[in-house]
Each structure stands twice: as C-alpha cells, then as structure tokens.
C-alpha cells in the first residue's frame, strides 16, 4: 500500500469549508478503496502559517493577499520529511496540500484557467502537490460565506445564505475531489487525457461539474500499473 500525506493551509478557511475538506478527504479514500487501488491519503495535520509570509499580488481579480507557492512548498516538504524520518513503515514520499487562496509564486500569478488545477514539484524524490480550492468555489458560494462571516448581516439573510450554501457545498466537494484525483494521477505519471475522466482538465467550472468523478479505463490502468511497478528516480 502506498500513502500520500494530506494537509491543508488553515489560514482563511472557514469552519464550514474545513468540514467539506475532511469529507473530501474521506470520500477520496473511500473511492480509492472501491477502485481497489493500493493507495490512501493520510492526514498529516493542518498547516498554520505566520502572517509574515503573506504577500499582496495584483491579479485580474484585484489585489489578493496570499502565501507564495515557494513558501508553501518549503513547509509541505519539511512536513513530509519529518514524517518520512519517523520511519514508521509507511510507504510514503508524496504530500498533497489544499489552500484557499490562488496559487502564485512571488511574482507570478497563475491565471484562473491557465493553471486551473494544481501545482506539483519534486525534491530529492519527494513529491509536493498543491491544489487551490479557489477555482472550485462558485460566486454564490463565496458570497454566502461572506454573509455568514459578517456579524452585521441580518438573520433572514443569514438563513437564506445557509440554504444556498447547503446546495453549493456538495458541488464544491465533488469539484475538489476531482482536483485531488487529478493531482494524484499526475504524481504517478499520468498525463492529461481527452476522455470523460478527472485527468481531462476543464476550461470552465461547468465542464468540470459534468466530468466523471473518476479515472477513465486507460488512465486507471496506467495508475494501477504505476502503483504495481513504481519507477524510482523518474519524474
């Protein structure tokens, strides 16, 4: 069995979204089990970053405060290294982290659809994957979360927001799971495909919603093969 460390950057994540993250984590593991893939996610605690690492970037959506990719990769790599050094017998050299803000390095903002899904890199054989949940949030999800966070919003508005959110969050969760499976696929050498499959990246959120929640036959076989015969030292 191979394991992938799972974490999330908890800064700026609301309680409601946090719950969905854990549901997505559990659902992903349940799917991997159903598909008889010898692969599971292991929760490695959340990452809480000091605000000092925050940068402000001018983006097409306006000014955004975020943690740069480089910092996140360092933290996640360190977290994975600590876990590997414990050497408790888990076969694990990958970590997947989720953030609530857009992915950007110190000077490069990854456009919404230009880099719709995640970012991943390799360090000394350790694979670090980062996925932003931001592109998976619909406008109404973002708006309702804002209303619920606002102490001045009135009760009627809040109860409306709760109703809207109860419809939005399940869709958000499915998008997120697909994104996680997409990045996991890449980390085992899968490339983009053009089938009804999580490895087929979307151009719009609607396209992503209609996409099958799982790997197509050809991607599944490649993933299974790669899990059976891990190629070490290869990207």
Going 165 to 168 to 169 to 170, the CA torsion angle's sign is positive
Q: How far is the CB of 137 from Zn ion (least distance, A)?
A: 19
Per-residue mark of binding to Zn ion, 92-121 (x: CB under 5 A)? -------------------------x----
Query: Is residue 193 at the binding interface for Zn ion, with CB under 5 A as the rule?
Result: yes
Least separation in angstroms between residue 152's CB and Zn ion is 41
Q: Which is nearer to Zn ion, 157 or 193 (CB)?
A: 193
- Binding status of residue 181 toward Zn ion by CB under 5 A: no
In the chain, the N- to C-terminal Cα span, in Å, equals 20
The residue range among 3-11, 17-25, 106-114, 217-225 that interacts with Zn ion, by the rule CB under 5 A, is 217-225
Of 44 and 219, which CB lies nearer to Zn ion in the complex structure?
A: 219
Determine if 199 is a binding residue for Zn ion (CB under 5 A): yes
Return d(Cα 225, Cα 169) in angstroms, integer: 34
Taking the C-alpha atoms of residue 228 and residue 2, their distance in angstroms, rounded to an integer, is 10
Binding window for Zn ion (CB under 5 A); candidates: 8-16, 148-156, 167-175, 212-220:
212-220
Q: In what order do the strands lie in the sheet with 119-123?
A: 39-43, 2-8, 92-99, 126-132, 119-123
Rounded Cα distance between 42 and 32, Å, is 13
Closest approach, Cβ 222 to Zn ion, in A, equals: 8
Q: Which one-letter DSSP state was computed for residue 119?
A: E
- Select from 138, 195, 224, 227 the one that contacts Zn ion (CB under 5 A): 195
Supply the minimum distance, in Å, between the C-beta of residue 95 and Zn ion: 17
Q: By the 8 A CB rule, do 45 and 7 touch?
A: yes
- 119 to 148, contacts with Zn ion by CB under 5 A? none
Contact call for residues 61 and 210 (beta carbons, < 8 A): no
Q: Give the number of other CB atoms < 10 A from CB of residue 121.
A: 15
- 101, two tokens: 């803000």
Residue closer to Zn ion, measured from CB, 76 or 181: 181
> Does residue 197 touch Zn ion according to CB under 5 A?
yes
DSSP, residue by residue, 167-202: HHHHHHHHHHHHHHHHHHHHHTT----SSSSTTS--
Does position 157 interact with Zn ion (CB under 5 A)? The reply is no
Number of residues engaging Zn ion in binding (CB under 5 A): 7
Site residues for Zn ion per CB under 5 A: 117, 193, 195, 197, 199, 216, 219
């Amino acid at each position: 069995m191979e394991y992938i460390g799972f974490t999330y950057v908890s800064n700026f994540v609301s309680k409601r979204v946090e719950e969905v993250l854990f549901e997505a984590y559990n659902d992903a593991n349940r799917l991997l089990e159903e598909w008889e893939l010898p692969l599971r996610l292991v929760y490695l605690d959340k990452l809480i970053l000091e605000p000092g690492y925050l940068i402000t970037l001018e983006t097409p959506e306006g000014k955004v405060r975020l943690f740069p990719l480089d910092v996140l990769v360092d933290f996640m790599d360190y977290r994975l290294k600590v876990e590997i050094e414990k050497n408790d017998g888990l076969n694990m050299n990958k970590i997947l982290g989720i953030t609530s803000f857009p992915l950007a390095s110190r000077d490069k903002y990854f456009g919404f659809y230009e880099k719709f899904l995640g970012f991943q890199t390799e360090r000394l054989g350790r694979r670090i994957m980062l996925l932003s949940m931001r592109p998976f949030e619909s406008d109404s999800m973002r708006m309702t979360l804002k209303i619920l966070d606002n102490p001045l919003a009135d009760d009627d508005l809040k109860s409306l927001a709760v109703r809207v959110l109860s419809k939005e969050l399940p869709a958000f969760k499915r998008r997120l799971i697909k994104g996680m499976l997409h990045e996991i696929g890449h980390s085992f050498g899968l490339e983009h495909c053009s089938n009804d499959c999580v490895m087929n990246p979307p151009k719009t959120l609607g396209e992503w919603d209609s996409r099958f929640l799982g790997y197509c036959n050809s991607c599944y076989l490649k993933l299974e093969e790669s899990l059976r015969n891990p190629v070490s030292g290869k990207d």
